[in-house]
Amino acid sequence: MADRLVLALAQLNPVVGDIAGNCSKLTAAWREAAQKGADLVVTTELFITGYPPEDFARKPCLLKDVQDAVRGLARETASGPALLLGAPWQEEEKIYNTALLLDGGEIAAKVFKYDLPNYGPFDEKRVYDPAPLQMPVDWRGHRLGILVCEDMWTPEAAAHLQKNGAQILIVPNGSPFAMGKQQQRYALARDRVAETGLPLVYINQWGGQDELVFEGASFAMDATGEIRAQAKAWSDELALTSWNINDGRLEPKTTTVATLPENEEAVYHALITGVRDYVSKNGFSQVILGLSGGVDSALVAAVAVDALGADNVRMVMMPSPYTSQESLDDAAAVAKGLGCRLTTLSITPAMEAFEQILAAKFAGCPSDTTEENIQSRCRGVILMAMANKGNALVLATGNKSEMATGYATLYGDMCGGYAPLKDVYKTLVYLLALWRNRKKPEGALGPEGMVIPEHVLIKAPTAELKPNQTDQDSLPPYNVLDAILESLIEKDFGTADIVKQGYDLDTVRRVWQMLDRGEYKRRQSPPGPKVTAKHLSRDRRYPITNRYREE
């Protein structure tokens, strides 16, 4: 037996359903690893189908295509390194979330996922069959303990592998991004390492898939819990890790330890990834968005340009009689700073047309939010029409604070194919804008320097649907609103718990009511990338029709 082992971590960006394309990416990575002397190439959970395949994983035709593709990959391994990959796999009448070891031209071993997550964005119990605890895999004189994603998050599977002679824990993952998630992964990995005394390799996919984004950030950890290799986040990487073999123990050498983005920088990368991959993986090349002169649309514009390039981002300013000159100037400054052309189309003729159409029906009725919503819906119609003509995707510009409280117009400013800020509270919108003005992210296609004018950041937020309107006419101050919403959504606190934190009872009740009553709007909102612990659509499932009222 050799006294040295090289494990290659193939951190790649799969496309759900593109079995041939995913196999091609993996084959290219495997061949590169072979040239660099790798003994084993490890990639991510359900890589062959892309993650998560959701109910696709139960389609007989897909399962057959997967098995054919895996056997084709296995033939590649007749010589060279072995390959460990993830795929949905049918055994008799059961379908498992499976890690497959390919070596010597055949499928050498199958490891089935034991712990199926059924919370937040995961509903694997409806898709896969649970497996019993799995045994280590014998491979070229070594015993590999393979934990498929969630199997690392609880102690049972790792303890079982260690008890049965595993020398290393290898963890293929599809773990979505959320703020602070990487530190949680490190902590859980250290728990498993401390419990078993075994080193651990963690390999995570990266890229965007609908409302989930994945940052990669794969790593290798020694038996003391120290990080010995750290792959970059938000990019393809083939990370080679070298291991010494001493008395049957595998000990990783320190290789490249990348510095990972944190806080606003990490969230900004998540937004870029979500936009770029949602647009490109769905066959679009261009996006269109409405610029209001406010911070939300300015931030969405910056993210879109960083993700797709200025030539692929179209901006439209749609003034009404209530639009201020400063909003017109601010929108023009945003477009100029990002290098995009701005089209200006007044909605006044559309407002007048609707007023005439509805005059008889509205006779004697005072003006209210009805007329305000018509303005927003006029803008939505214009954006969708321009997108249809140009085969572009509309980006909605609403943030999580608005989505949560229902402070948005259904079929108006909520219309669009993707909502980059859907999981970004208003207070975080400002922090992201300030961060982007200070630093251009690695790989971003937008310009250097201040891309969101200072005036946009300091003026009072307003929808400008009536004279002298500001958001704070209808909502509590955003620092108060967001703190209450975070307690209600992320922490599931009740009214009394939040009041104990020092917030006004009437304000808390009002916010709770807005959150509850806005559910029907959120069901019809566009998808957007998950960046917090609890996404309004992916993680929070409440009935629209309900009569529960918290006392």
Instruction: Give CA–CA dist 531/414, Å, rounded.
Output: 19
Which of 23, 25, 124, 149 is an active site residue?
Answer: 149
Query: In whole angstroms, what separates CA 144 from the centre of its chain?
Result: 31
Catalytic annotation present for 45: yes
> Phi/psi zone of residue 171: left (φ > 0), alpha (ψ -120 to 50 degrees), beta?
beta
d(CA 126, CA 279): 29
Dist. CA 98–CA 218, nearest whole Å: 19
Tokens 């140009």 belong to 390
Annotated catalytic residue, options 23, 25, 45, 426: 45
Single out the catalytic residue among 23, 25, 76, 113: 113
Separation CA 409–CA 135 (nearest Å) = 54
Q: What is the CA radius of gyration of the chain?
A: 26
Helix (H) or strand (E) holding 112: strand 106-112
- Cα–Cα distance for residue pair 66/7, rounded to 1 Å: 25
DSSP secondary structure code for residue 442 in this structure: T
Report residue 202 as tokens.
Answer: 């963690």
SS (H, E, C) 454-492: HHHHHCCCCCCCCCCCCHHHCCCCHHHHHHHHHHHHCCC
Name the token pair of 77: 């391994």
Is residue 132 packed enough to be buried (19+ CB in 10 Å), middle (13-18) or exposed (0-12)? Answer: exposed
The stretches of 364-504 forming alpha helices (DSSP H) are 369-390, 400-405, 426-438, 454-458, 478-489, 495-499
φ and ψ at 241, to 5 degrees? -115, 130
Q: Which two tokens stand for residue 239?
A: 């990370």
Amino acid at 151: D
Structure-block tokens of residue 434: 């300030």
Active site residues: 45, 113, 149
